[in-house]
Each structure stands twice: as structure tokens, then as C-alpha cells.
Amino acid sequence: MIPPIARRFVAGETAPEALEHARACNENGIAVILNLLGEHYDDPADVRADVDAYLALLDDITDSGLDACLSVKPSQLGLDVSAELFETHYREIVSHADDVGAFVWCDMEDSDTTDATLDAFASIAADHPWRVGQCVQSNLRRTREDLERLVDVPGAVRLVKGAYDEPESIAYTDKAAVNEAYREDLRYLFEQRDRGVAVGSHDPEMIALADRLAREFGTDYEVQMLMGVREDAQRDLAVQGVDVAQYAPYGDAWFSYFIRRVRERRENLTFAVRAVLGR
């Protein structure tokens, strides 16, 4: 069982719990992006189990009428085994989403995986227009060129700053430089697209910038934030009429995800210590 302290960041261990969380978010006008926790599988049987879970989840989402979609990870779908295995599974999930009228996001992992991930996305989006969206990371120096390549791809793009440590040769490692790249990439996305832009950030400055860019260019966009992070802001934005989606992970592999969230910010650590001490 997930301890209450981790429940802030994780929607439960099972699909029914995750769907229940989605229902509660929907009541506050917030859509949900469900991610079954799991990554870096080297056994195809582990990959298959998660693919089957996602296929069933897509059915559950459509049957329930919830405003929810999925986000998958390349290494969860077999990229550590082979690019072919990954693309086959990614395609199978998006194809099923297309059949049932649902939507699938794909996370972006470390820079060794960028080419294979973007290639699969471009090919699958061409076959299933506007049923799939891809995350891209502004900390990578290549991203501006990737965004140019993706301009005509009929799929959504989630822009994030990037969560992986990458070498200076291929990435901006200084926070100010990452922020500057994010601003420029965001402007480019709003300039070039009229739909399918997702702002994957908790940063109030970037969210305000997106609002200004949307007024300037008329682009449809949504703000995406993680479960347990700035949930008050998520609700406030939804009340203001901004499209908001919460990325909510679930599953029994919750422990390492929880530790990552706690480590990344001092206030999360304080929250964790307080919860343990019961204060």
C-alpha cells in the first residue's frame, strides 16, 4: 500500500485508483494524463505487460467518459531492447487510442533516445493525426531544429525544460540558459502552430508567457503540471479558463518516483520530513 506521504504525488497502485483520481481532478475542471510507472525494461515480457495495461486503460478511459489520456515512456515500451520493438508497441497503443477516440502522450527520456523517439512519433502521428503528442526538452541544444522538423507533423508537442543530466556539449546546463531556450522554443511553437501546444512547466513565468503568446498568435494550448506540484495553481488556472492537465503517475513502482519528487525541491523534502514526524 502506498503511504499517505507518497499519495501526494502518485494516484494509486491500480488503474481503478488512478481513474478515481482522474474523476476528482475532472470535478475541478482539470484533465488528467495517466502514466503507469515503469521504465528501462530489458525483458520484452515486462514491456508486453505494460502495453496490455495501457490498452485496457484506454478502454476504461473511454468507457468512463473521463477527461483523461495516457503518457508512455519509450524505455517502458521496449526502447532499451530495440527501436523496432518500441515503435511497434507505441504504434499499437496509439492505434487503439485512435479506434476508441482517446489520446496518447510520449515522454522524452535521455538524449540517447531522442532520435528514435522523434522518428517513431513523426511516423505514428502521420498515420494517426492528432491522436498522439510528444514531449521535447528545451535543455537540449538540438531542440530548436527538432521543433522545426515537427512543424508539419500532425501531433501535439509538450515543451519541458528537461529532467535529465546531459553533457554541456549537447545541452544547456546553466539554469538561466535553459530558461532562455525554453522562452525561445515556446515562442517558436506558438508562432508556428495553431493547436497542440502543451506547456509542461510549473514555472509561473513560463505560464504567463504562454498566456501572452496565445493572445498574440491565437494558438490553442494547455498547461501541464505534475500531480502534487502547485495544485492550487492548477485549480486557479482552470477557474480562469486555461486548459489544464495534470500528469498523474500510478502503479506499484511508485517508490523511486516518489523519491525523485522529494529530492528535487527543498519544500518537498520539508513536506516529507513533516509527514514522517506527524507535524
Half-sphere exposure of 120 (CA within 13 A, CB side): 33
Q: Please give the Cα distance from 261 to 5 (Å, whole number).
A: 12
Q: Counting contacts by CB under 6 A, is residue 200 touching ligand FAD?
A: yes
Check if 260 is active-site.
no
What is the closest distance, in whole angstroms, from the C-beta atom of residue 26 to ligand FAD in the complex?
A: 17
What is the closest distance, in whole angstroms, from the C-beta atom of residue 56 to ligand FAD in the complex?
A: 23
Which one from 131, 158, 193, 261 is the annotated catalytic residue?
A: 158
Q: Please give the Cα distance from 24 to 227 (Å, whole number).
A: 12
Q: Counting contacts by CB under 6 A, is residue 3 touching ligand FAD?
A: no
Which of 46, 203, 211, 243 binds ligand FAD (CB under 6 A)? It is 203
Which of 230, 253, 271, 275 binds ligand FAD (CB under 6 A)? It is 230
Look up residue 115 and give its amino acid.
Answer: D
Asked if 248 and 32 count as a contact pair (C-beta separation under 8 A), the reply is yes
Give the nearer residue to ligand FAD in terms of CB position, either 50 or 107: 107
Look up residue 239 and give its amino acid.
Answer: V
User: Percentage helix, strand, coil, to 5, in the chain?
Assistant: 55, 15, 30
Check if 174 is active-site.
no
Which of 111, 113, 117, 201 binds ligand FAD (CB under 6 A)? It is 201
Give the nearer residue to ligand FAD in terms of CB position, either 17 or 166: 166
Q: Counting contacts by CB under 6 A, is residue 116 touching ligand FAD?
A: no
DSSP label at 111? G
Q: Please give the Cα distance from 78 to 159 (Å, whole number).
A: 23
Across-strand partners of 248? 34
For residue 53, give every residue at least 6 positions away whose Cβ sits within 8 Å of its Cβ, in sequence order, or none: 15, 36
Grid coordinates representing 160?
519541458
Taking only Cα atoms into account, the Rg of the chain, rounded to an integer number of angstroms, comes to 18
Q: Counting contacts by CB under 6 A, is residue 163 touching ligand FAD?
A: yes
Q: Counting contacts by CB under 6 A, is residue 11 touching ligand FAD?
A: no
Which of 108, 140, 153, 181 binds ligand FAD (CB under 6 A)? It is 108
Which one from 107, 146, 185, 261 is the annotated catalytic residue?
A: 107
State which of positions 242-261 bind ligand FAD (CB under 6 A). Answer: 247
Supply the residues annotated as catalytic.
Answer: 107, 158
The residue ranges that bind ligand FAD (CB under 6 A) are 107-108, 135, 137, 160-164, 200-204, 224-226, 229-230, 247, 265
